[in-house]
Structure formats: C-alpha cells, structure tokens
Amino acid sequence: MTLKFELKASHKKARTGILSTAHGDVRTPAFMPVGTRGTVKGMLPESVKTTGSDIILGNTYHLMLRPGAERVAKLGGLHQMMNWQGPILTDSGGFQVMSLSSLRKISEEGVLFNSHIDGSKHMLTPESSTEIQYLLDSDITMAFDECTPYPATFEQAKTSMELSSRWAVRSREAFKSRPGYGQFGIVQGSVYEELRGASAEKLIELDFEGYAIGGLAVGEGQEKMLKVLDYCPDFLPTHKARYLMGVGKPSDIIGAVARGIDMFDCVIPTRSGRNGQAFTREGTINIRNSKYADDTSPLEEGCPCPACTNYSKGYLHHLVKVGEMLGAMLMTWHNITYYQGLMERIREYIYQGKDFDFST
C-alpha cells in the first residue's frame, strides 16, 4: 500500500482527514514548516514536533547541492540525519531552479542551471529529481515541473504546462513505489481555467497518490489566487490529498481550505520570526517597535509556546534589537505554534460543520 488518504469530515468544500505515510499520520488540513536544507531554521526537530507539526518540507535543489543526496543517504536518509521521525515531503527543485539560478536553460530533457552557491553547472531532470528524493527517503515525492512565472500569456502558460505534463510522465515512470510512500503530480496553467483543467486531466491519468496546485503565490495576488482555487480543486479526485504549494499567510490558508485544499507550506512563519514579526489572533506584532521595550506582558495570552509562557515582550524586544539568536528562535517557535493552532481550529470547525468566523 502506498500513501492512504482518508476523509473524516467535510463542510461545503472544506475537508479534514488523515494522510497515512511510512513515518506516521498527517492530520489535514496541514501546515508543513519549511526545512529547506534539512532543518527548520532556528528550531530543534523535537521543538518543531511540540508545536503540533505532523510533517515538514525539505528541498531537492538545496540538498542536492549541499550536502548531496548520496551523502544524505549514507547518513541514513533525511529522517535519521536530522532526527525528524515524522513524515517529510520534498519539493522537486523546479521552483528553486527558476528563482535562484542566475543562468538556466530549459530543454525537453530538463533544466541546466548554475548553482547559486558557486556557479557550478548542474542538470536536473524528472528522473534525477525523482532519484534524489528517493535517496533523501522522502515520504512524499513531488513530480518535476516548470513553475510558470507570472504574468504569462495564454500561449506561454500552455507551453509551460504541456512541458510539465510530459515531465510528469517521466517522473511517474522513475518513481519507485514502496509501502507508505507516494508521489504528487503538480497542476500548472497559470490563471487560465482551461489550462488548469487540461493539466489536471493529464495528471489524473497517471494516478498519482496526491495532487498539488503549483504556479500560485508567484506574484498574482490573493484575489487572483483564490479565483483559481474557486475551480481548480474541483478538477481533482476527492479521495486524494490536495496540496497548495508555497502558501501562505493565515488569510490565504483559510481561503484555500474553504475551497478544498488539504496541505500547505510556506517560509512566512519562520522568516517573519527571524525578522521580529509575530502572528497572533489579534493581528501581527513587530516586536522591534519601541513601545514593547518595557512591556511585561506575553507575546500572546494563552499561547503555549515558550516565548509566551516564559518571556515578556520587553525581553523579546531586547533580544531581537541586539541580534541575539535566541530572539529569532523564540519568535520562530511562537509563529509555528500559532500556525499549527490555526490549523487545529480549522480542523475543529470542519468537524463541527461550521463556517470559519475568524480571519487569522
């Protein structure tokens, strides 16, 4: 048996369920903290687990460059190397090739690119991306695709989508099926409903274990993103997980769940934490603001994270202002705790059959 996805309840288009993998269960809707290089920045894996995170994300592009997929395999795979015993999903590297490489050449074979680290040349193909993810021991492998830039004309988006569709066939053929492991196809097509539908149809024929929606959160704005999500999840099978890649802010997640999305990842909670911004039910807090210098209250009342239970806003303000790494660690811990609390509230609302009456 590969991945198993079981729906537990639904309310309108919103769904909650369990995704079972070789390394444990994932409660959906789920938010995956980003552990790009084999670590969630500023946190111990054990600490990430205490936030309520069931699954984390790693990245093929970064790990293939450093320390190298073969080395990760020699160290026991990504789970053992980084001491994360739960499920791991790995991005295929397609987005990073687009966003980080200063020189890239796309062909039918794959993408020839220069490393952003030292300029060395590398070739990433559907076959090599899939093999790297196998060596990393990813529970969920992503098909290799081209992330269509925004804006794109209909013809540009069509050409890009069709290339991704051909690469999906090769990714599927290269995938090694094992119990508890699976591969997700990625729907492309920019903001064009016709193209999204055609992409989904081709991917469904390949019978992936789950499906992702890519090419959003690339500059189109929330309104256009949600417009795509009004129809795109409906193209996908109801009995398989749906993953919206690279999203997002709390309001993005709430809007996407309401439209049928099950899984999310984004660097926002960790990056914001390192930059002194905290997410709370009352809105965002910039802890650098001088008004918090003498504030003895916690970052957020009732939050179970160490930043809130053990320290004051004044202390966090001091840590962040002087650049102490503890400040970034505590702020990140809080933000991931906030995100996982948001997901728990969302799941509970779906179980109760209630409309979301909160925005964050």
Separation between Cα atoms, residue 351 and residue 310, nearest integer Å: 33
Q: Is 91 a catalytic residue?
A: yes
User: Which runs of E-coded beta strand occur in the chain?
Assistant: 4-11, 14-21, 24-28, 30-33, 56-59, 88-91, 104-106, 111-114, 121-124, 140-142, 182-187, 210-213, 241-244, 263-266, 277-280, 283-286
Give the pairing of strands 241-244 and 24-28: unpaired
Separation between Cα atoms, residue 156 and residue 359, nearest integer Å: 35
Q: Is 265 a catalytic residue?
A: yes
Candidate list 25, 54, 91, 118, residue with the active-site label: 91
Candidate list 137, 252, 262, 265, residue with the active-site label: 265
Give CA separation, 91 vs 33, 172, 237, in Å: 13, 15, 21
Q: Which residues contact 317 (CB under 8 A, 6 or more apart)?
A: 287, 288, 289, 292, 293, 295
Catalytically active residues, by annotation: 91, 265
